[in-house]
Structure 1
Amino acid sequence: MLFGSRPAALGIAEDTLEFALSAAADTHPNEYMGVMRGTPARELGVDEDGDIVTDVVFAPGTTSSPVQATMRSDLLPNDSHNVGSVHSHPNGVLRPSNQDVQTFGKGRAHIIIGAPYERDDWAAFDRKGEPRDFDVYDVSLPDPEEFFDFDQADIDAELEDR
């Protein structure tokens, strides 16, 4: 895959959305922020080209308050599996602020979750802060234990794909 050439972000796995909603509720009244990471849809049994968000990573060094959350960009994973960001608005507003849009960067999709953090209390946006379609997929997620099941050959293969 060429640098900067990343597959489309199709949507989010149902279980991952539930996790993000729960994390945002647990963090309330402070903002929650995480990095969304995707898995190729075909690996999840979905006959489409693109990524489905299957993971939300909480970056070390993230700080939050009732009005903002910030992440240290130097501690974020930086690879083709990054889809964008997810963060909460404790005030329930489901649209990005100007500051939000400035932090969206090169992400393919960004989710804002609003209080009271129920199933429909979220919206997706593109990197310019414009609303975008982002489907919810009922897929089986990979076993988290498999994440750590790799060796040097797997690392070399991943590097060759870049």
Structure 2
Amino acid sequence: MRLFRSDELLGIARETMEFVLEASEESHPDEYMGFLRTDDARKLDLDRDGQVITDVLVIPGTESNPTSASVRTHMKPNDMRAVGSVHSHPNGALRPSDADLATFGQGQIHIIVGAPYGWGDWKAFDNEGRQTTLDVLDVEVPDEHFFDFTQEDIDREIGEERRDDGGFLSWFR
């Protein structure tokens, strides 16, 4: 395992971009808002150093309407994988507003998706609001699970605790 990751952003996974377009369309006529997260390119079987956007984090309590989306910033996790944001403009405008520019400093890349939310209806911007290129990559996005155990693991653990004659958990029985 490497101690330091390359900060070069190689692009966004096609599956992730499809999710962004669908989520934006489903939110219409209100804005959609999320934060972009990356995975190491080598984890995605790319033979290059760098990061690929593979995930969109939606913050609980995000409020949106046809002209804005607001996030409860205290709910945003301190995430080493976060690289920027994505939001929609239901009016179809593919340029950042003054309010957008005020938040762009908090990330490396920002995507704006406009109605009607097709493949040609989005643009990427750097943290200063300048349009930039973001490649769409055909990589397999790993299935991630918030919990890395199954119900069978829980049942087995409970069964072992019941058979245990001592130990810390026996105090609570």
Whether the TM-score (by the shorter chain) exceeds 0.5 is yes
Q: Hey, what's the Cα distance between the residues in 1 that align with 2:21 and 2:125?
A: 17
Unaligned runs of 5+ in 1: 151-162
User: In the alignment, which residue of structure 2 is the partner of 1:76?
Assistant: 76
Distance in 2 (CA, whole Å) between partners of 1:63 and 1:23 is: 15
- The one-letter amino acid paired with 2:29 is P
Determine if the alignment matches structure 1 residue 57 to structure 2 residue 57.
yes
Greater RCO (Cα-Cα under 8 Å, separation 6 or more): 1
Whether contact under 8 Å (2:90, 2:115) holds in the other structure is yes
Following the alignment from structure 2 to structure 1, what is the Cα–Cα distance between the partners of residues 127 and 8? 13
CA change 1:68–1:6 in 2 (3 A) is farther
| Superposed displacement of residue 77, structure 1 | 2.1
The two structures have a TM-score, normalised by structure 1, of 0.85
Aligned to 2:148: 149
Q: Distance in 1 between matches of 2:126 and 2:114?
A: 17
Answer whether contact 1:38 1:52 (CA < 8 A) is retained.
Answer: yes
Cα pair 1:29 1:66 within 8 Å, conserved:
yes
Describe the superposition over 1:83-130 as per-residue Cα deviations: whole angstroms up to 9, x where unpaired: 100000001111111110111123010000000001111100001000
Identity %: 52
Deviations 1:49-93 (A, max 9, x none): 221111101101100000000111111121220010000000111
Select between 45-54 and 114-123 the one with higher mean Cα deviation: 45-54
Q: Which amino acid aligns with 1:149?
A: D
Offset of 1:6 from its aligned partner? 6.8
Give the 3-state SS of the residue equivalent to 2:59 in structure 1.
coil
Query: TM-score, structure 2 length as denominator?
Result: 0.80
Which whole-Å CA distance do the structure 1 matches of 2:110 and 2:51 have between them?
14
Contact 2:6 2:49 (8 Å CA) reproduced: no
1:17 aligns with 2:17: yes
Stretches of structure 2 that go unaligned for 5 or more consecutive residues are 150-173
What SS class does the counterpart of residue 60 from structure 1 fall into? coil
Cα distance in structure 2, aligned partners of 1:85 and 1:6: 20
Kindly name which structure, 1 or 2, has the bigger radius of gyration based on alpha carbons: 2
Aligned length: 147
* Distance verdict in 2 for CA 1:41–1:6, change over 3 Å: closer
